[in-house]
Chains A and B, each alone.
Chain A
Amino acid sequence: MGDAICRVTRCAGIGRNPTDIGAKGKKMNIPVPGGDGPEIVTQESLLLGAAERISRIRDGRVAVHIHLSRLRPQNRQDGHVRIALRMLEPIVNAYRGQMFLLGTSDIVFMMKDPYVTDVENMIYKLRALFSKDPLTFQDGGDGQDKFCTWYELGESGDYEEFLQVARAATAAARKRVREKDAAPAERRSIDSKILGEVLTRLATMDVSKLIRRQAAMVIAKETQAVVLFQEFFVAMAELQRVLAPDINLMGNRWLFQHLSQTLDLRVLGALTGMKLRAQPNVYSLNLNISAVGDRAFEQFETHVKGQAGISVEMQILDILGDSRGFYATRQTLRDRGHMVTIDGLNELTMQFLDITQFDADLYKVTWSPDMTEGEHALTMSKAVATIGGDKILLARCDSEAAIGWGLNRGIKRFQGRYIDTMLAAFTMQSCDKASACTLAQCTNRHAVIAGPLRSECGNNDMLDSSPVMRAPRARSQ
């Protein structure tokens, strides 16, 4: 950490430097008796102080505001921000500058007489690190750089504007700190000790109330859409609430994977005991490779045999972890007439993996508006063309735009909230009890297989049926 930064932070009473992500937020001074409440020292207020101090010696100074807060949440986690700070550190130190990490993850730094090309090169590198985020490739159309903003602090520069930004940031930070104090503490991430307890609890729990279902649709002919399968899965938010409300079950990837192995078996057990009015044409289940080799799967198979097909959705993570197991499982599933689906693909996996190597029957790609732009758009068009639209299902379609994008690329299989609503609307058109319900109610009741939501519905037959609907059409794009 450079002198300049340390000097600023130390005199302000913060022992930690901005690289320490823990310092993001606030530091409360001890309240002075008779004072008007504790002064809240934040990185923002330090920035404002520093900006005010230079008001008479602004010549040759510049400030840069890096808008990391505009990145997608998954791209601005602590690690990303830490690396960004690390990248900037040398240059900020070289020009005896000061750097501030705001509570929003934005970074602001000030320098004196920098060699602008140096700074620009560094920012270029930083931008490249985030090149997979729409922030760096999206064109707002207004010619503005959304990633960073420069301020000339000298005479006839942008000093006032910069001061305004610092003031606004300080006010926002103060507000955030107050709200945060009132908000409940963040959930603890799961660790191996807690996982043990969670597994014990899971062993005796009735998971059938946690199971959700969602239909996927395929456009059969020009004008007809039929249900391709019904996916049965565990509602993670619900599981979280019931199993360990104060623990973040997904806070550790490997421990969660371990948990999911047990969960698979419990779900298979619950589905084997489940009673629906009508079986779906195909059950689609998210399973670990290990679960397919378990007796619970065999029992489920026996249970639905002759009445419904089975499609097993597998994750890349699991396949890479046990590729040999995957090949064997794929063969076993095919031998028994089941379908093999690769789940959880996205614009990145499509770009960095040769998806066809999985040789699956169906590839489930998670829809994202990012697919419509820049590098991702190109990747997706190429990947869809290679794999063939017939082997792709576009999942999490929550808008007409998603469906339209897919249709225009020859994709005929869709799943997501948009389809749920379509299905509910179609159901209500022909349901004799429909006058008592809203569209949202119908959608929610479709999603469960047990519990009060289901019993509220006056026509469970309709809930379990797989109707033929009118196909959505693509608007020309």
Chain B
Amino acid sequence: MSPTFERPITEQQKEIAQRLPAGENLLLDYLHKLERHRRGRRAVLARLSSLQAVNRREHHIRIASSTFEPMVKQLKGQVFTLSNCDLIFVFKEIALHEVESVIVKLRFMFNEDPALTDEGVGNRPSFFDWFLLERDYDSLLHLAQRMASDEEQRRSQEQMNSNKPIAHRRPVRRGEALTTEMLAKLEDALASADLANMLRRQAVCAIVGNTPPQPVFNELFISIADLRETLLPKVNLASSPWLFQQLTETLDRRILSLLNKHDDRTVDGDISINLNVQTLLAPEFLVFDDNIKASMRGTMVLELQKVDIFADLGAFLFARDFAHDRGYRICIDGVNMESLPFVDRVRLGIDLVKIVWDSAMMDGTLPNGETIETYVDRCGPSRSILCRCDAQDAVDFGQSMGITLFQGRHVENMLAAATAAKRGILSRRR
């Protein structure tokens, strides 16, 4: 399963994502701490929110934010990613030159975007805003407060919607609902669309203690967010879960044919792909299996959706045994806190369970009263992956439950930071 922002399965999962602590609060906390240390500090605001949607995808934001990471590592500053994708970097003056060079990099990254080409034209605000804390502390604080309260309001709105009794609960509407007509069009478009540029990878990493994350395998997936923006910008794909499931099945098949075409190193190394049981038994998979065998294959993980497994257990068992015989590992994907009690890894004969991070987990127990720790213990700490970790508290919590494998936006950031730090050390040695 890809992260929430890529494959929103249900409204509930979206709600979970929205409850995660946001950069706004972290920024506000940080600014309060700096109240007496304003001197010699500056901040820069990068208005990534004004970029066009195509330039504002999750990986853009991640890359943009990671350009500041080396300075964060050297304790020269702190970077905050806000809910609207804007970045704020608060730094010590000694790093000014470095910051400026980062800004050049960012300008270069987005130099085709109207937000930069038309910068300052008409009412368009400048893309970067600078703050001298000694002078502009209050205005920055106000900005942060306003953003935090906006964010707070949005969240409580979501919360209220989700707390309504079930009979009155209607899905939160963001965009039109996905209809069968749209799905048909989408499937037609997918048959001919080049999805190669929508192929993404995200690492599942081992994180033990404070050591930097060690990638264990990379998940390959087609970014639903990108797909939606390209093909159906106004449609809320999560509005019809079963139609959405049908769409992912189509996509899974497309990924296979995409990987079958790629003779480069896309499928090299340790990777995982999303599949469904029927596709595992389809000719496309056998071709894939042949191709993989031809190259040096590392760990191959096949991720199956929980609904797909339980929809036809007989077919699943057959596919599972075949996959195991071929040396693949099977991961059950998309298991949220609520469905965890139904998923007995050992009984199902599955190798890995992907548990969807949910801040509600911090309350400690599953719906059946069992603790997550007990579950992880039974499942096997090296068999449980906590995915969609969007913030450090997810990793902290997972570790406290005995989990060692993590995936998500935050893990990507940690990985990028670790890589950048390593590069930093190397260049200093040189």
> Which chain A residues have a beta carbon within 8 Å of chain B's beta carbons?
19-20, 74-75, 77-80, 82-83, 86-87, 125, 128-132, 191-193, 195-196, 199, 252-255, 257-258, 261, 292-293, 297-298, 316-317, 319-329, 332, 348-349, 351-354, 357-359
Contact = CB atoms under 8 A, between A and B. Distances in A.
B218 to A, nearest CB: 26
Nearest to B10: A322
Nearest to A196: B180
17 contacts: A75-B314, A82-B283, A132-B314, A132-B318, A191-B187, A192-B181, A255-B180, A258-B243, A293-B166, A298-B167, A324-B336, A332-B166, A348-B314, A352-B344, A353-B342, A354-B341, A354-B342
A83 B311 CA distance: 20
Contact of B184 (A191, A199, A297, A322): A191
A192 B246 contact: yes
B265 interface: no
B165 to A, nearest CB: 7
Given A74-B314, A255-B246, A354-B341, A193 B347 contact: no
Nearest to A21: B283
B242 to A, nearest CB: 4
A327 B314 contact: no
Q: Among B167, B242, B319, B348, which residue has the most Cβ atoms of chain A within 10 A?
A: B242
A366 to B, nearest CB: 13
Given A20-B283, A86-B286, A261-B242, A324 B338 contact: yes
B318 A83 contact: yes
B21 to A, nearest CB: 21
B167 A293 contact: yes
A129 B324 CA distance: 11
A168 B167 CA distance: 62
Contacts of B314: 74-75, 132, 348
A75 B286 contact: no
A82 B318 CA distance: 12
Nearest to B348: A352
Given A74-B314, A83-B319, A258-B242, 6 more contacts: A75-B318, A86-B286, A192-B246, A254-B249, A332-B167, A352-B348
A254 B243 contact: yes
Interface string B164-198: 01110100000000011101100100000000000
Given A348-B317, A357-B341, A193 B165 contact: no
A191 B342 CA distance: 31
Contacts of B338: 323-324, 326-327
A60 to B, nearest CB: 29
A129 B167 contact: no
Contact of A292 (B166, B283, B339): B166
B216 to A, nearest CB: 26
Contact of B315 (A79, A125, A261, A357): A79
A20 B307 CA distance: 29
A252 to B, nearest CB: 7
A326 B249 CA distance: 24
Interface string B257-297: 00000000000000000000010111100100100000000
Interface of B: 10, 12, 165-167, 169, 179-181, 183-184, 187, 240-243, 245-246, 249, 278, 280-283, 286, 289, 306-307, 310-315, 317-319, 321-322, 325, 336, 338-339, 341-342, 344, 347-348, 367-368
A348 to B, nearest CB: 4
A101 B175 CA distance: 50
Contacts of B317: 132, 348, 352
Q: Which 8 A-B pairs have the closest CB atoms?
A: A79-B281, A323-B338, A196-B180, A323-B339, A258-B242, A254-B246, A257-B242, A193-B184
A181 to B, nearest CB: 26
A125 B325 contact: yes
Contacts of B289: 86
A367 B242 CA distance: 28
A252 B339 contact: no
Nearest to B170: A293
Given A79-B278, A323-B339, A253 B311 contact: yes
A195 B347 contact: no
Contacts of A353: 310, 342, 344, 347
A103 B181 CA distance: 37
Contacts of B187: 191-192
Contacts of B242: 254-255, 257-258, 261, 321
B344 A329 contact: no
A332 B306 CA distance: 25
Given A75-B314, A82-B283, A191-B184, A328 B322 contact: no
Nearest to B366: A357
A195 B180 contact: yes
B307 A321 contact: yes
Contacts of A329: 166
Contacts of B310: 316-317, 320, 349, 353
Nearest to A133: B314
A132 B180 CA distance: 36
Nearest to A125: B325
Nearest to B165: A332
Contacts of A253: 311-312
Nearest to A22: B283
A357 B245 contact: no
A196 B184 contact: yes
Contacts of B315: 74, 77, 79
Nearest to A321: B307
Contact of B342 (A254, A292, A320, A348): A320
A332 B164 CA distance: 12
B183 A192 contact: yes
Contact of B344 (A80, A254, A354): A354
Given A254-B243, A322-B10, A317 B184 contact: no
Contacts of B165: 332
Contacts of A297: 167
A376 B341 CA distance: 23
Contacts of A293: 166-167, 169
A193 B180 contact: yes
Contacts of B166: 292-293, 325, 328-329, 332
Contacts of A254: 242-243, 245-246, 249
Nearest to A200: B180
Contact of B286 (A80, A82, A317): A82
